[in-house]
Amino acid sequence: MRAKRSVVFLVIGLLVLGACRAAPSEAPSPTVAAIKTGVGVEGLTIKLAEITPLTGTVAIIGKPLTRGHEVYFKYVNDVLGGIGKNLPKEQRYKVELVTVDSQYLPDVHVQQYNAVKDKVLAIAQSLGTPQTKAILQQIRSDKILTAAASLSADWFKETYVVPNGAPYIAQIANALQYLKDKGVQPKLGLIYQDDDYGAEGTAGIDYAAKALGFTVVARASYKPTDTEFTAQVNTMKQAGADHVILTTTPTPSGRILGAAAALQYAPRWIGNSPAWIGALVGTKDKPSPLVPYMQQNLWVVTDQGCGWANTGPGCEGSKLMQENMAKFAPDQTPDYYFEFGYVQAMGLHAILEKAVEMRDLTRDGLVKAFEATKSVDTAGIRKKLGYGATCQEKVGVTGSTTSTADLVRWSRADHSSALDAHLRRSGGPADRSRCRDAARRAAGRSSGAAHRLPTDADRARESDLRARSRSPACESHGHAARRGPLRRRRRGHGRGVRLDPRGRRELHHARAEDQLRPAVLERNAHGDGKSGEGRQDRRPHRMRRDRL
Amino acid sequence: MIDFLQLAVQGIALGGIYALIALGFVIVYKATQVINFAQGELVLLGAYLVYAFNQTALPFVASVALAAVVMAGIGWAIERTILRRMVGRPVFAVVMITIGLAIVVRQLVAAVWGFEDRLLGEPWAASRIQLGDLGVNVTSVVTIATTGVLLLLFFVFFRFTRAGIGMRATAIDQEAALAVGIPVRGVFAQAWMIAGAIATIAGVLLVAFPATLHPAVGFTALRAFPAAIVGGLDSPGGAVIGGVLVGLVEVLVQGYQPQVAPWLGNNFHVAAAYLLMIVVLVVRPYGLFGTRVVERV
Amino acid sequence: MNGPRSRRAAPSPLAALPVLRRIDGLRTSYADELALIRGAGGWAALAALAALYVATPLVIDDFWLSVLNFTAIAAIAAIGLNLLTGFTGQVSLGHAFFIGLGAYTAGYLGGDLRLPVIVWLPAAGIIGAAVGLLVGPFALRLRGLYLAIVTLGLVFLGEHVFLNLRQITGGPQGRAVPAPMIGEINLADLGTSLGLPLTREQSFFLFVVPLVALAAIAAKNIVRSRPGRAFQAIRDREIAAAIIGVDRARYKVGAFAVSSFYAAAAGALYGSYLRYITPGQFDLLPSIQYVAMIIVGGIGTVYGSIAGAFFLVLIPRVVEALSPAIPFVSRSATSSGLTLFVLNQLIFGALIVFFLVFEPSGLAGIWSRLRTYVKTWPFSY
């Protein structure tokens, strides 16, 4: 025992001496203007991590968001030459993105964080509230700046997390404030998803209704796998809600609006930004029949700014974004999350620029730059993007714009999609100016060619097919022939097998031999008396039938 | 009263969809004693195939028929290549294989068509039938009608056709079925082909208006499990009855529980479906119409 | 009958060394049969494992260490599931529910009541076992796939409870779970607590691996003693077991209780490692993953569970690490179609399918075939 223990200690000692953990790579001391660099900066390349779901259902958010980052940083690298606007062009820092798939699972998220944490300067995207909370402890201890692509309000309290976008709470609050400003006294309803996203909806409506003096007359929740929403819509209808907030995702929104149309219930629907997707209106050839209903009753609350439709004066940022998208990601269709990612990347750009200005591209330097960056100019895409050290300064984006879906013209755009939706703006509380000329918002998927409704010829063809399958030609006479000449064809062909010659139609379980009829046992007993093994079976068919 | 009727109609329609998915489970289980956890993904794939064919110049019914044929082929292929080798192996290993298949199919669908929502484009979209105060989507009516027709077809199939009787015989005892000349392997293949075809129809009705088509549709198939179990895993009639029962219970609970018993929590209807299943199983351990397994010592 | 006596009459020359007496492979006594560590080979293996335990956190980097930590936690849960499904034959798809139960219990006891880890870890297990005792009677009534679907229902019922019992579970937004603390010492972060040069991953690894060893030894002891034999009897021939006097009800319910204990303890460790849990993490997917673990690892063996846990947690990361070598696949994160990331998932699903098709007795089957081959060489045919 003692020998074994000493052997073990020896082995441990040897291994400790030979420890070969990879030390984090220290960048060589900078040759340029004494900018301090640290982990994640190699030469003139800044590495940023993207921990995002690229597979799975949440990839519809993760992929466009990451694309937004990619397109913006490609613009920065290629067109602007890199980070550092006061540096000469050959000394600017290029941004490189390290992307890993978190599958929207917290444990994979933690593992991927550990995979990239020693390689990058900051985390440009950590998507998902529970996922980011899982790595929060490590972010704090590693002091690594993280841009959370999650709209939880908790990030405003964190030193190392960059919040982005108005929380859904703010979206609801702004929408209700808008109603109040118009003098409406609504009877509020809320339909929300049963997860943390929906919890933001309940928190928002509770806070805003209390602050503005509105009443919430009905609330209903649903599970993401639900297919029936009649009950929820009915609840709203019974309670008499005339303004219903939808904290939902696109598929349930479509179903809810469809159920409401069927029930002939038409309140003002106010959807959070994720509740809308272009596909809900269909394509040019096959528009959704809900389009008139949606035009009349649906508002969608998004983050305030020019968005996609407006590229006129005051919205140069949006125009630039669409140009960059056409140049660097031509197959990307306009998408809310692309825009979100693009704006988030602009914020990170501003923080990085500040860090270069403060001559400190280490992790600590980045945090100081984050606290020092007061506001970011997005050239109109967003009304206001603010950062800072305190909760009050870290406003991020809290203004909202409410838009109505108004589909006016169908025509082919330059993108491969065929539907244009015309978004008319009805400004948010802080911005009363209306954008007059709304350009087209291409939203939707590939066009289909026209298809015709089934004609009588089709129906006749179908019934013909059905009739033909019942014809006698389908009976397989060959089946009997295959079984051999000695075997009789079963009686009552096609009308059920009669296994019992006495006419009873029971089918007994062959494994339960206690259910064998005594007749068969008797026959066996006779047979045993006659001869030894291998008694000739001179009545093959009857025997076989009985045995079953 | 109208509310109750409205909810009841929607519940029966939802139950119809569950019944169609459950029929797929039941057919495969009846013939091969295996629960096909990939049925949800077959439903998904069927719906996407209909969407893909519908995007071409084919009429809607033809695309459904063509997709059903393709799905039947895929079901046959799955049975032939993978499950044929697993004959004789423990049942749960086979179930795990279907789970692995489900993962593969889900990723393939997402790879080919992406994760975005799409509209199916069926011809009856958004039409509504008004019966007095009752407003019913045509989709619901089509669902109920299809379920009824399919139930009838299955009854005829199992009762009066050679293939159906062969399948029943195989379900009872594979050895004996082989002994009388029933091609058991063919029966397995038939079961999977039928399951594939039904999955297409279920898929179409699941994503028809007002729903949209996206890769997470397969998870809804899990909600049809209670339907298959309540009716009995090897009874097609039981699948339909179980489906309608579960659908009714879900929608009615969804409608009334928030007022009557809010302490049960939000969205109790999902849990209610499973509670119903557990209650039924406690009373009848093989489901309402399932075959009792006699165990030899 | 002559066997043992004739062996003692002609002892092998190796019998001279006490530790090598059992190296010949023949079991000469019941104690030998039941022994956990047999012969010099056994002791050498134990020494190697101990060395590996100490060396790994020093050699391997944080990413693979975090993967190994998750593997260790999954191994504990998989051992529990194997006791239920592999040894007793009761298929359970509800393992994720018990894991969630353990995680929330740890969150409540450790976070709200601020108890140290030596209290909340066993307490989570005991609460899991208590709930398992409630679920167990279903196994008495239901068989096979019906039981599996009922346990599936348990997952959904559990998710409903987790979503609605907001005081304890925090509802859909989830709750924080504390690190394993004893007083002020954070066992998962000894670096900061004790001033040692250890990262969080290293610290947690050193904390969790002895727990895995404890769990494995306990399971092995259960298996090689009376309850274990009862479990296996129930699995193999239930009615025959009842005839010879095995109390089916007691052992079936007991199997559920024991496996739930393991699952809840694993869940407590999982929550404490992630530090934040939401109800959506304990749905059907983890349940299926655990069943896949024990099937791929080998039903009915303890070390098979650990091997299965390695397979299912480690292989996806290995595939990710190796797949950049695959040509013709888009490496871009955001292009549509077959990207590297979709391919990773595809490969993983396909691996499960191929593994089960070609090796249904799992990794343990491969291992035992290998061992038999080596032992019987050169007569391995």
Residues 466-525 (A) with a CB less than 8 A from some CB of B: 476, 479, 482-483, 494-497, 507, 509-513
> What confidence tens digit (pLDDT) does each residue in B17-76 have?
999 999 999 999 988 888 898 999 999 999 999 999 988 888 889 999 999 999 999 999
Identify the bridge partners of residue B244 per DSSP, sorted by sequence position: none
Identify the bridge partners of residue A271 per DSSP, sorted by sequence position: A246, A300
pLDDT at residue A123, as a whole number: 93
Q: Do A258 and B209 touch (CB under 8 A)?
A: yes
**Could you check whether the bond before residue B210 is cis, i.e. omega within 30 degrees of 0?**
yes
What is the CATH classification number for the domain harbouring A361? 3.40.50.2300
Structural domain that includes position A86: 1-166+314-383
Judge whether A335 is closer than 8 Å to chain C, CB to CB. Answer: no
All residues of chain A having their beta carbon less than 8 Å from the beta carbon of residue C70 are: 107, 110-111
pLDDT at residue A273, as a whole number: 80
Does residue C215 register a pLDDT over 90?
A: yes
Report the C-alpha gap between C158 and C175 in whole angstroms.
Answer: 16
State the total domains in chain A.
1
Report the C-alpha gap between C70 and C64 in whole angstroms.
Answer: 10
Report the C-alpha gap between A150 and A128 in whole angstroms.
Answer: 5
Judge whether A111 is closer than 8 Å to chain C, CB to CB. Answer: yes
Distance of CA A92 to the CA centre of its chain: 36
Q: Has residue A82 been placed in a domain?
A: yes
Name the closest residue on chain B to residue A488, using Cα atoms: B180
Task: Please give the backbone phi and psi of residue A221, each rounded to the nearest 5 degrees, phi first.
Answer: -120, 170
Best B223, B254, B260 residue to mutate vs chain A (most A CBs within 10 Å): B254
Range with the largest mean pLDDT of A151-155, B127-131, C138-142, C344-348: C138-142
Residues 253-272 (A) with a CB less than 8 A from some CB of B: 254-255, 257-259, 261-264
Q: What is the rounded radius of gyration, in angstroms, for the C-alpha atoms of chain A?
A: 35
Q: What is the rounded radius of gyration, in angstroms, for the C-alpha atoms of chain B?
A: 19
Report the C-alpha gap between C161 and A536 in whole angstroms.
Answer: 68
Report the C-alpha gap between A68 and A340 in whole angstroms.
Answer: 7
One-character DSSP codes across A386-453: E--SSTTT--B---EEEEEEE-------SSSB--EEEEEEE--TT---------EEE-S-B-----PP
All residues of chain C having their beta carbon less than 8 Å from the beta carbon of residue B287 are: 146
Residues 148-167 (C) with a CB less than 8 A from some CB of A: 163
CA dihedral C309, C310, C316, C319 (to 10 degrees): -160
CA dihedral A218, A219, A225, A230 (to 10 degrees): 0
> What confidence tens digit (pLDDT) does each residue in C282-328 have?
988 899 889 888 988 988 899 999 999 998 898 888 888 887 777 77
Mean pLDDT (whole number) for C89-115: 93
> What confidence tens digit (pLDDT) does each residue in C340-371 have?
777 777 887 887 788 788 887 888 888 888 88
- Antiparallel, parallel or unpaired: β A41-42 and A36-37: unpaired
Q: Quickly count: other Cβ atoms within 10 Å of residue A19's Cβ.
A: 10
Name which of C163, C192, C317 is nearest A194 (Cβ-Cβ). C163
Report the C-alpha gap between A142 and A119 in whole angstroms.
Answer: 12
Q: Could you give the angle at the alpha carbon of C45 between the alpha carbons of C42 and C46, nearest 5°?
A: 85
Identify the bridge partners of residue A125 per DSSP, sorted by sequence position: A50
pLDDT at residue B103, as a whole number: 85
> What confidence tens digit (pLDDT) does each residue in C6-15 have?
445 555 565 5
Name the closest residue on chain C to residue A200, using Cα atoms: C173
Q: What is the rounded radius of gyration, in angstroms, for the C-alpha atoms of chain C?
A: 23
pLDDT at residue C15, as a whole number: 54
The 8-class DSSP code of residue A287 comes to B
pLDDT at residue B126, as a whole number: 62
All residues of chain C having their beta carbon less than 8 Å from the beta carbon of residue A195 are: 172, 278, 280
* Structure tokens that stand for A203 in this block: 């928190």
Does residue C132 register a pLDDT over 90?
A: yes
Name which of A220, A458, A511 is nearest B294 (Cβ-Cβ). A511
* Amino acid at residue number A378: T
* Structure tokens that stand for A334 in this block: 């306009």
Does residue C135 register a pLDDT over 60?
A: yes
Mean pLDDT (whole number) for B1-12: 85
Cα dist from B243 to A467, A525, B202, B246, C101, whole Å: 29, 50, 13, 5, 30
pLDDT at residue C17, as a whole number: 55
Higher-pLDDT residue of C70, A200:
C70
Name which of B54, B180, B267 is nearest A451 (Cβ-Cβ). B54
Name which of B61, B165, B175 is nearest A458 (Cβ-Cβ). B61
Does residue C142 register a pLDDT over 70?
A: yes
Give the 3-state DSSP-derived string for A78-147, with helices as H, strands as E and coil as C: HHHCCECCCCCHHHCEEEEEEEEECCCCHHHHHHHHHHHCCCCCEEEEEECHHHHHHCHHHHHHHCCCEE
Range with the largest mean pLDDT of A442-451, B91-100, C276-285: C276-285
Sign of CA dihedral C86, C92, C96, C100: negative
Report the C-alpha gap between C162 and C279 in whole angstroms.
Answer: 6
Report the C-alpha gap between A406 and A293 in whole angstroms.
Answer: 10
> What confidence tens digit (pLDDT) does each residue in B255-284 have?
888 888 888 888 898 899 999 999 998 888
Higher-pLDDT residue of C252, A448:
C252
Q: Do C51 and A20 touch (CB under 8 A)?
A: no
Does residue C136 register a pLDDT over 70?
A: yes
All residues of chain B having their beta carbon less than 8 Å from the beta carbon of residue A194 are: 266-267
Name which of B108, B225, B282 is nearest C152 (Cβ-Cβ). B225
Overall size of chain B counted in residues: 297
Q: Quickly count: other Cβ atoms within 10 Å of residue A60's Cβ.
A: 24
List chain A pLDDT tens, one digit each, 548 residues.
444 455 545 544 444 443 335 444 444 444 445 688 888 888 889 999 999 998 877 888 888 899 999 999 999 999 888 888 888 888 888 999 999 989 888 989 999 999 898 899 999 999 988 899 899 988 998 899 999 887 676 787 888 888 765 567 778 888 888 888 888 888 999 999 887 788 888 888 998 888 889 999 988 988 887 888 888 898 899 889 999 999 988 888 888 988 888 888 899 999 888 888 777 777 666 677 788 888 888 888 876 667 676 677 777 888 888 888 888 888 887 777 888 888 889 889 989 998 988 888 888 888 988 888 877 777 767 666 666 656 555 544 455 555 655 443 322 222 222 222 222 223 233 222 222 222 222 222 222 223 344 455 545 554 555 445 443 333 333 333 344 444 444 444 434 443 444 444 444 444 444 444 444 443 444 444 444 444 444 554 444 444 33
Element (H, E) at A230: helix A230-239
* Structure tokens that stand for B89 in this block: 């192996």
Judge whether A318 is closer than 8 Å to chain C, CB to CB. Answer: no
Q: Has residue A226 been placed in a domain?
A: no
Q: Quickly count: other Cβ atoms within 10 Å of residue B158's Cβ.
A: 20
C269: nearest Cα among C218, C207, C182:
C207
Q: Has residue A512 been placed in a domain?
A: no
pLDDT at residue B198, as a whole number: 94
Q: Quickly count: other Cβ atoms within 10 Å of residue A510's Cβ.
A: 17
Does residue C248 register a pLDDT over 80?
A: yes
Domain ranges of chain B: 2-218
Q: Has residue A24 been placed in a domain?
A: yes
pLDDT at residue A411, as a whole number: 27
Q: Has residue A68 been placed in a domain?
A: yes
Report the C-alpha gap between C71 and C350 in whole angstroms.
Answer: 21
Overall size of chain A counted in residues: 548
Å between B285 CA and nearest CA of chain C:
6
Å between A279 CA and nearest CA of chain B:
6
Does residue B92 register a pLDDT over 90?
A: no
Q: Has residue A71 been placed in a domain?
A: yes
Count Cα neighbours of C212 within 13 Å in the Cβ-side half-sphere: 28
Overall size of chain C counted in residues: 381
Mean pLDDT of chain B: 87
> What confidence tens digit (pLDDT) does each residue in B157-181 have?
988 999 999 998 988 888 899 899 9
Q: Do C275 and A137 touch (CB under 8 A)?
A: yes
Name which of C156, C337, C346 is nearest B104 (Cβ-Cβ). C346
* Coil/strand/helix, residue C345: helix
Q: Which burial class, exposed, middle or buried, applies to A22 when counting CB atoms under 10 A from its CB (0-12, 13-18, 19+)?
A: exposed
All residues of chain A having their beta carbon less than 8 Å from the beta carbon of residue B16 are: none
Q: Do B229 and C243 touch (CB under 8 A)?
A: no
Residue B56 near residue A449 (C-beta atoms within 8 A):
yes
Residue A161 near residue A148 (C-beta atoms within 8 A):
yes
Name the closest residue on chain A to residue B17, using Cα atoms: A227
C256: nearest Cα among C76, C85, C125:
C85
Does residue C77 register a pLDDT over 80?
A: yes
C190: nearest Cα among C57, C44, C346:
C57
Judge whether A222 is closer than 8 Å to chain B, CB to CB. Answer: yes
pLDDT at residue A63, as a whole number: 87
Best A55, A116, A338 residue to mutate vs chain C (most C CBs within 10 Å): A55
A275: nearest Cα among A304, A245, A233, A306:
A245
Judge whether A9 is closer than 8 Å to chain C, CB to CB. Answer: no
Instruction: Give rounded-to-5 percent helix, strand, coil for chain C.
Output: 75, 5, 20
Name which of B103, B114, B282 is nearest C345 (Cβ-Cβ). B103
